[in-house]
Amino acid sequence: MQFVTGRVLLRRLKLPLVSLFLAVSLASTIHAQAPYVRISVLSLEPARIRVELNTLGSTDWSFRNSYASVVGLADRIENLHGKDYLGREVVATELASGEFRFPEKVMNASYDVRLNPPVTLAELSRVSWLKKEHGLLMLRDLLPAAGMGAEPLLNLNLVLPPGWMSAASGNSSGEKYAVVRPDQAVFLVGSSLRKNSVRVGTAEVKFATLGNWSFSDSAIRKVVLQIVKEYTRVLGHSPPEGVALLLVPLDAVGPERWAAETRGQNVVLLMGRQATSRALLARLKVVLAHELFHLWIPNSLALEGDYDWFFEGFTVYQALLTGLRLHYITFDDFLETLSRVYGSYRSSTERDKLSLLDASERRWTAASSLVYDKGALVAFIYDLMLRQGARRETLADIYRELLQAGRGSRQDANELLIKLLNKREGMNRFSERFVEGTADIDLASVLKPFGLELANTGSSSRIQVAKNMNKEQRQLLETLGYKK
């Protein structure tokens, strides 16, 4: 299926440099000097787009070939053409997959990208793809990583099939966007697209989805409002301006099948919709409690290094606490989920071989589950120890201090986090044992001082409230949400 536009394509223009930049300035009323990019959907079957852009006069171009666990992204690039400042054709030589060199500087270029949907569900939330009804466009894997310069702004024009619309964070006029930080830009495109928004304090949270769900748009707005308000209260910081939740339906499956990615201010969530409204909303609440937290941690931080153990593992635990406070789950659900996390941790053959720091470095090759499972257990243990301390602090105090120290400062994340975790009274060797060390976590002995115990039930273990806990232990568990 081909789509033809009546406008003259930029790559066919043979204009002098002044005329080219005049055309660019007319294309955007927001950032007149920013690079201009035009993405046109050429066909849906097969899925194919054309990217046209002006550059800063580069000779060497490179496209990312991998992201997270997805590889081979650069192999989708085809038909790269460039033109110099006089509009003359300049031919590139492909040096390696995704690596190109022009014999002279090019001022505008065009290329095609094949966007067949990935095979796995997780990859659908991480890279660009198109289907017959809708798709996701992510500039990180569509634009060159080198060749356009380091400009953090660009003007984008989307040319979509008839009846299609787009949604994303940031400012737009129709299908024209002023994009800030292109690496983080994500666009939900498709027919039957609906947009909505909810205001939390001074910040607006946008919401977009496609097709029919068994719950109303107002129901999801309520969930988003509850969670964002709670995190604003807990962290002491409002959400960033211009957040967008992009909800993509998965057909013929239930909500137990889902995948999510929070990139910049865009929260992408793909979820099966074959279920009752109650079941869908229950799953949505749990998933969003995790994903929306990433708007603060790590996306509002400027830290460097692999600290996935913290911003993923600790967030698993923080999302459970949030669900408990907002009555999405019960205290029994809370303990049951942590029991499953512990079971998953125990099944890992790497649990006593890799520290959390090592697991974070190898997250996409060998230790993904350990990052989440051990990270969540360590967060649980640390929060209990804080609550038992003389100052009765909680994990929220660490988060607030981290946000204060890590915004706008390109520090080493692990050094800062270890410093924050160890500085509390009685915690001076906590990270050495649980973060930097490789020793197996003996949860039964660790939980005993807090009024919790580990009960063995056949092949699994269950965390439960101790039968003979004392008054202090009961009070500690009540701060978590225990009510019996």
| Per-residue pLDDT at 30 exceeds 60 | no
pTM for the predicted model, two decimal places: 0.89
Rounded CA-CA distance 179/156 in Å is: 7
As a whole number, mean pLDDT of residues 152-162 equals 92
Query: In this structure, are residues 82 and 106 in contact, taking their beta carbons and an 8 Å threshold?
Result: yes
- Spatial strand order of the sheet with 129-130 comes to 129-130, 134-138, 186-190, 165-167
pLDDT band at 57 (very low <50, low <70, confident <90, very high): confident
Query: Residue 168: how many CB atoms within 10 A of its CB?
Result: 25
CA dihedral 376, 378, 379, 385 (to 10 degrees): 150
| Per-residue pLDDT at 151 exceeds 60 | no
As a whole number, mean pLDDT of residues 170-179 equals 88
pLDDT digits 0-9 by tens, 218-234: 999 999 999 999 999 99
Structure confidence at residue 11 (pLDDT)? 31
Rounded CA-CA distance 46/50 in Å is: 13
| Per-residue pLDDT at 425 exceeds 90 | no
Structure confidence at residue 207 (pLDDT)? 93
| Per-residue pLDDT at 27 exceeds 50 | no
> What token pair was written down for 331?
């205290």
pLDDT band at 241 (very low <50, low <70, confident <90, very high): confident
Rounded CA-CA distance 240/243 in Å is: 7
Structure confidence at residue 28 (pLDDT)? 36
Q: Residue 72, exposed/middle/buried by CB under 10 A (0-12, 13-18, 19+)?
A: exposed
Rounded CA-CA distance 257/273 in Å is: 9
**Residue 193: its H or E element:** strand 193-200
As a whole number, mean pLDDT of residues 59-68 equals 92
Structure confidence at residue 148 (pLDDT)? 60
pLDDT digits 0-9 by tens, 103-134: 999 999 999 999 999 989 999 999 999 999 99
As a whole number, mean pLDDT of residues 33-39 equals 85
- Could you tell me the CA-to-CA distances from 342 to 49, 232, 335, 364 in Å, in that order? 45, 29, 10, 21
Structure confidence at residue 147 (pLDDT)? 56
Rounded CA-CA distance 312/304 in Å is: 15
Contacts of 423-430 with C-beta under 8 Å, sequence gap 24+, read 424/386, 424/389, 424/391, 424/393, 425/389, 425/390, 425/391, 426/385, 426/389, 427/382, 427/385, 430/382, 430/385
> What token pair was written down for 261?
């990615």
Query: In this structure, are residues 27 and 33 in contact, taking their beta carbons and an 8 Å threshold?
Result: no
Query: Residue 221: how many CB atoms within 10 A of its CB?
Result: 16
Could you report how far apart the first and last alpha carbons of the chain are, in Å? Answer: 62
pLDDT digits 0-9 by tens, 315-344: 999 999 999 999 999 999 999 999 999 999
| Per-residue pLDDT at 141 exceeds 70 | yes
Structure confidence at residue 5 (pLDDT)? 36
> What token pair was written down for 122?
């997780």
pLDDT digits 0-9 by tens, 356-406: 999 999 998 877 899 999 999 999 999 999 999 888 899 999 999 999 998
pLDDT band at 24 (very low <50, low <70, confident <90, very high): very low
pLDDT digits 0-9 by tens, 438-471: 999 999 999 999 999 999 877 789 999 999 999 9
Domains of the chain with CATH codes: 10-189 (2.60.40.3650), 193-284 (1.10.390.10), 308-480 (no CATH)
